[in-house]
């Protein structure tokens, strides 16, 4: 049990009261600029990865429930920790913390990752923050998770690039991040086949047998696997796995937007928006194309279709509008009052809005995302908590709000808003020489 609050337990922090004067919350009668609103959402969301990180590991907890802070307090999210690494870089650049504070936290996180259970170089989905031992995600998912590992590595590469020409301590940190990601045995996760497989367990091997085929959140795993200097995969694995020999392409369209790619289970309206967020936190879709897909068009169409669906609101859910939109995976509430987790999308819609959907889409739909941000901020008395906007809400059910957080929803908000504002994480990731080689190997063209 915690003997003190998370704020007391973790050093530092940048709470709402510490915002620059022109970013302070204002009364509804006062005007607030777009830039000040972006400052608010980034700074408060940053708290998730700073104030509410695991005290021993420094890494991102899987979830944080302000009303019950001891709930699931030792579960570290590996992918969420990758998002946290990128968010802390944003925190330095935005002045939320000093670089010295960030270096100390990065050292703690990277040392934890070095000591953690790994499986042919890959980390599991979850780790125990106190022991660094694997926490099973499901019955057979108690080993390496190559997708969560990829989401972590995306952050490690950004750390590598951010510190690679600094002081001696910064260069050491850069080299530590580099060594960690370059030791991942990506080719092991093909099981000798021409595709990546999601899981491997020392007890169950490849029993889960889940191949990584697009379109979903797993593109980043193929880019990193091709980029590995020590354990690389070939182009054939990419073409047979992610691209499915070209069947990833779609000629369908909705609301006059070409869908571009086949979304599993949703061939016209697209899947949950995290499909177009997670891989593209570092991987810049602008000007990015392979032999089959223009990812610039695919990501923008996905977000625009999601927005247009919410505006049309074919199920007549209360509250959906030009200002209140966004469907992606998050906590949820059903009509019978039951709670849980759901991959919300136009074909899996139960009236629940996830702020991360619209806010993480700023690079794709800046006007529509700003409308959503203004709506969320207007309702900040219900929606804004200690670590940013809460994970999900529903006007359909009396403006129900979950009042909880998930690392994998908070992270994309601060990162993609920064990519919209400055392109910071895109620049760091895309400048890495190994990434450039991997993209060339897979036949990508990058014209940004």
Q: Is 1 part of any domain?
A: no
Q: Is 243 part of any domain?
A: yes
Please tell me the distance from the alpha carbon of residue 221 to that of residue 212, in angstroms, as a whole number. 9
Q: Check if the beta carbon of residue 302 is closer than 8 Å to that of residue 270.
A: yes
List Cα–Cα distances, 143 to 117, 146, 184, 198, in angstroms. 9, 10, 13, 10
User: Which three-class secondary structure state does DSSP give residue 187?
Assistant: helix
Distance of CA 350 to the CA centre of its chain: 23
Q: With left for phi above 0 and alpha for psi between -120 and 50, is residue 385 left, alpha or beta?
A: beta
Distance of CA 259 to the CA centre of its chain: 22
List Cα–Cα distances, 12 to 16, 51, 101, 270, 373, in angstroms. 13, 7, 8, 40, 27
Residues in contact with 60: Cβ distance below 8 Å, sequence separation at least 6, in sequence order:
48, 49, 53, 54, 76, 77, 80, 81, 83, 84, 407, 411
Per-residue pLDDT tens over the stretch 160-198: 999 999 999 999 999 999 999 999 999 999 999 999 999
Hey, how many other C-beta atoms are within 10 angstroms of the C-beta on 219? 27
Q: Check if the beta carbon of residue 81 is closer than 8 Å to that of residue 153.
A: no
Distance of CA 81 to the CA centre of its chain: 10
- Which pLDDT belongs to residue 30? 54
Q: Check if the beta carbon of residue 415 is closer than 8 Å to that of residue 158.
A: no
HSE-up (13 A, CA, CB side) for residue 160? 23
Q: Is 9 part of any domain?
A: no
Exposed/middle/buried for residue 248 (C-beta within 10 Å: 0-12, 13-18, 19+): buried
Q: Is 26 part of any domain?
A: no
Q: Say how many residues make up the chain.
A: 448
Q: Is 16 part of any domain?
A: no
Q: What's the CATH code of the domain at 361? A: 1.50.10.140
Q: Is 17 part of any domain?
A: no
> In the numeric block, which tokens belong to residue 172?
């050491």
Q: ω before 215 within 30° of 0 (cis)?
A: yes
Please tell me the distance from the alpha carbon of residue 73 to that of residue 87, in angstroms, as a whole number. 20
Q: Is 57 part of any domain?
A: yes
> In the numeric block, which tokens belong to residue 345?
């999308």
Please tell me the distance from the alpha carbon of residue 231 to that of residue 185, in angstroms, as a whole number. 5
Hey, how many other C-beta atoms are within 10 angstroms of the C-beta on 412? 28
Please tell me the distance from the alpha carbon of residue 300 to that of residue 311, in angstroms, as a whole number. 17
Residue 389 pairs in a beta bridge with 384
- Which pLDDT belongs to residue 448? 72
Q: Check if the beta carbon of residue 448 is closer than 8 Å to that of residue 284.
A: yes
Domain residues for the domain of 360 are 33-446
Taking only the tens of pLDDT, the chain with its 448 residues reads: 223 322 222 222 323 333 333 344 445 535 899 999 999 999 999 999 999 999 999 999 999 999 999 999 999 999 999 999 999 999 999 999 999 999 999 999 999 999 999 999 999 999 999 999 999 999 999 999 999 999 999 999 999 999 999 999 999 999 999 999 999 999 999 999 999 999 999 999 999 999 999 999 999 999 999 999 999 999 999 999 999 999 999 999 999 999 999 999 999 999 999 999 999 999 999 999 999 999 999 999 999 999 999 999 999 999 999 999 999 999 999 999 999 999 999 999 999 999 999 999 999 999 999 999 999 999 999 999 999 999 999 999 999 999 999 999 999 999 999 999 999 999 999 999 999 999 999 999 998 7
Name the domain count of the chain.
1
Exposed/middle/buried for residue 441 (C-beta within 10 Å: 0-12, 13-18, 19+): middle
Crossing angle for the helix pair 146-163 and 168-182, to the nearest 10 degrees? 160
Q: Is 94 part of any domain?
A: yes
Please tell me the distance from the alpha carbon of residue 209 to that of residue 200, in angstroms, as a whole number. 9
Exposed/middle/buried for residue 262 (C-beta within 10 Å: 0-12, 13-18, 19+): buried
- Which pLDDT belongs to residue 23? 41
């Amino acid at each position: 049990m915690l003997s003190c609050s998370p704020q007391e337990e973790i050093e530092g922090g940048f709470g709402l009261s510490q915002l620059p004067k022109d970013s302070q919350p204002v009364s509804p009668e006062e005007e607030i600029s777009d830039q000040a609103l972006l400052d608010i959402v980034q700074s408060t969301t940053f708290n998730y990865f700073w104030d509410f990180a695991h005290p021993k590991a420094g890494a991102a907890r899987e979830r944080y429930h302000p009303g019950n802070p001891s709930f699931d307090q030792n579960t570290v999210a590996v992918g969420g920790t990758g998002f946290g690494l990128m968010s802390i870089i944003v925190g330095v650049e935005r002045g939320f913390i000093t670089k010295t504070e960030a270096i100390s936290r990065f050292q703690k996180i990277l040392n934890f990752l070095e000591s953690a259970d790994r499986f042919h170089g890959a980390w599991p989905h979850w780790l125990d923050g106190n022991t660094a031992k694997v926490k099973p995600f499901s019955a057979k998912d108690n080993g390496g998770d190559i997708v969560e590992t990829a989401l972590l590595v995306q952050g490690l590469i950004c750390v590598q690039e951010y510190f690679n020409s600094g002081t001696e301590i910064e260069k050491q940190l850069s080299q530590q991040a580099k060594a960690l990601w370059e030791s991942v045995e990506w080719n092991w996760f093909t099981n000798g086949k021409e595709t990546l497989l999601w899981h491997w367990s020392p007890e169950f091997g490849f029993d889960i047998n889940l191949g990584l085929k697009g379109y979903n959140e797993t593109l980043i795993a193929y880019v990193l696997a091709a980029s590995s200097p020590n354990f690389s995969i070939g182009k054939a694995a990419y073409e047979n796995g992610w691209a499915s020999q070209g069947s990833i392409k779609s000629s369908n369209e909705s609301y006059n937007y070409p869908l571009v790619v086949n979304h599993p289970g949703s061939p016209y309206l697209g899947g949950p928006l995290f499909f177009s967020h997670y891989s593209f936190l570092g991987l810049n879709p602008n000007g990015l194309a392979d032999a089959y897909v223009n990812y610039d068009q695919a990501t923008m169409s996905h977000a625009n279709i999601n927005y247009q669906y919410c505006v049309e609101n074919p199920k007549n859910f209360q509250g959906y509008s030009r200002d209140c939109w966004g469907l992606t995976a998050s906590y949820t509430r059903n009509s019978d009052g039951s709670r849980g987790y759901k991959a919300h999308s136009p074909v899996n819609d139960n009236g629940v809005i996830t702020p991360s959907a619209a806010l993480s889409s700023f690079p794709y739909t800046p006007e529509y995302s700003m409308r959503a941000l203004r709506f969320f901020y207007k309702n900040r008395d219900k929606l804004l908590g200690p670590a940013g906007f809460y994970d999900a809400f529903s006007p359909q059910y009396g403006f129900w709000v979950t009042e909880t957080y998930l690392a994998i929803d908070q992270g994309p908000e601060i990162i993609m808003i920064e990519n919209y504002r400055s392109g910071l994480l895109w620049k760091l990731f895309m400048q890495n020489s190994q990434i450039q080689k991997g993209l060339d190997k897979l036949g990508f063209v990058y014209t940004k």
